[in-house]
Amino acid sequence: MEKQANFNVLMLPWLGHGHISPYLELAKKLSTKNFTISKLSEEFKESIKLVELHLPSLPELPPNYHTTNGLPSHLMPTLKEAFNKSCPNFREILKDLKPDLLIYDLLQPWAPVAAWLYNIPAVEFISSSVTMASLVYHSLKSPQGKKFPFESSIFYRGYESAMEDKLFVHDKDSTSFLDCIDRSTKIVLVKGSEEIEGKYIDYISTMTGKRVVPVGHLVQEPSLMMMVRIVKFPKGENVSLENVLPKGFQNRVGDRGKFVTGWAPQTKILTHPNTCGIVSHCGWNSVLEAMKFGLPIIAMPMHLDQPVNARLIEELGVGIEVLRDSSGNLRRETIARVNYQVVGGIDGEQVKKNAKEMKKKIEMTEEEEFDDHVVEELVQLCLMKNNKIWQIASTIKYYAFSCFGFSQI
* pLDDT given for residue 3 in this prediction: 55
Q: Is residue 398 over pLDDT 60?
A: yes
Cβ atoms within 10 Å, residue 406: 16
Cβ contacts of residue 91 below 8 Å, gap of 6+? 114, 117, 409
On whether both 316 and 390 belong to a single domain, the answer is: no
Residue 140 belongs to domain with CATH number: 3.40.50.2000
On whether both 386 and 308 belong to a single domain, the answer is: no
Mean pLDDT of the chain: 84
- The model's confidence at residue 224, banded by pLDDT at 50, 70 and 90, is very low
Residue 232 maps to a domain:
no
Query: Order of strands across the sheet with 7-12?
Result: 48-50, 35-39, 7-12, 101-104, 122-126, 187-190, 211-214
Residue 47 maps to a domain:
yes
Cβ contacts of residue 86 below 8 Å, gap of 6+? 53, 54, 55, 56
* pLDDT given for residue 99 in this prediction: 95
Residue 222 maps to a domain:
no
For the stretch 287-306, pLDDT in tens is 999 999 999 999 999 988 99
- Domain extent, residue 294, equals 265-364
On whether both 395 and 332 belong to a single domain, the answer is: no
Q: Is residue 226 over pLDDT 60?
A: no
Residue 392 maps to a domain:
yes
* Amino acid of residue 221: E
On whether both 334 and 289 belong to a single domain, the answer is: yes
- Catalytic positions are 19, 105
- The model's confidence at residue 105, banded by pLDDT at 50, 70 and 90, is very high
Q: Is residue 97 over pLDDT 90?
A: yes
On whether both 354 and 377 belong to a single domain, the answer is: no
For the stretch 148-183, pLDDT in tens is 999 999 999 988 877 777 776 667 888 899 999 999
Q: Are 137 and 184 within 8 A, CB to CB?
A: no
Q: Give the E-state strand segments of 105-252 in sequence order.
A: 122-126, 187-190, 211-214
* pLDDT given for residue 326 in this prediction: 86
Q: Over the range 362-392, which residues count as b (16 or more CB within 10 Å of their CB) and which as e?
A: beebeeebbeeebbebbbebbbbbeeeebee
On whether both 285 and 384 belong to a single domain, the answer is: no
13 CB-contact burial (10 Å; exposed 0-12 / middle 13-18 / buried 19+): buried
Three-state SS letters, 125-161: EECCCHHHHHHHHHHHHCCCCCCCCCCCCCCCCHHHH
Residue 242 maps to a domain:
no
For the stretch 362-386, pLDDT in tens is 888 766 656 678 888 999 999 999 8
Element (H, E) at 37: strand 35-39
Q: Are 52 and 59 within 8 A, CB to CB?
A: no
- What span, in angstroms and rounded, lies between the C-alpha atoms of 156 and 167? 11
| pTM (predicted TM-score) | 0.86
- What span, in angstroms and rounded, lies between the C-alpha atoms of 198 and 165? 27
On whether both 179 and 286 belong to a single domain, the answer is: no
Q: Is residue 270 over pLDDT 50?
A: yes
Domain count along the chain: 2
* pLDDT given for residue 79 in this prediction: 85
Residue 253 maps to a domain:
no
Cβ contacts of residue 261 below 8 Å, gap of 6+? 229, 230, 231, 232, 233, 241
Q: Is residue 109 over pLDDT 50?
A: yes
Residue 244 maps to a domain:
no
- What span, in angstroms and rounded, lies between the C-alpha atoms of 91 and 113? 10
- What span, in angstroms and rounded, lies between the C-alpha atoms of 215 and 375? 10
Mean pLDDT of 341-356: 89
On whether both 356 and 384 belong to a single domain, the answer is: no
More confident residue, 67 or 104: 104
Q: Is residue 213 over pLDDT 80?
A: yes
On whether both 43 and 164 belong to a single domain, the answer is: yes
* Nearest residue to 27 via CA among 9, 5, 54, 6: 9
On whether both 337 and 386 belong to a single domain, the answer is: no
Asked which of 8-22, 158-172, 320-334 is least confident by mean pLDDT, the reply is: 158-172
* pLDDT given for residue 365 in this prediction: 76
Residue 103 maps to a domain:
yes
- The model's confidence at residue 225, banded by pLDDT at 50, 70 and 90, is very low
* pLDDT given for residue 62 in this prediction: 77
On whether both 337 and 382 belong to a single domain, the answer is: no
- The model's confidence at residue 223, banded by pLDDT at 50, 70 and 90, is very low
On whether both 360 and 378 belong to a single domain, the answer is: no
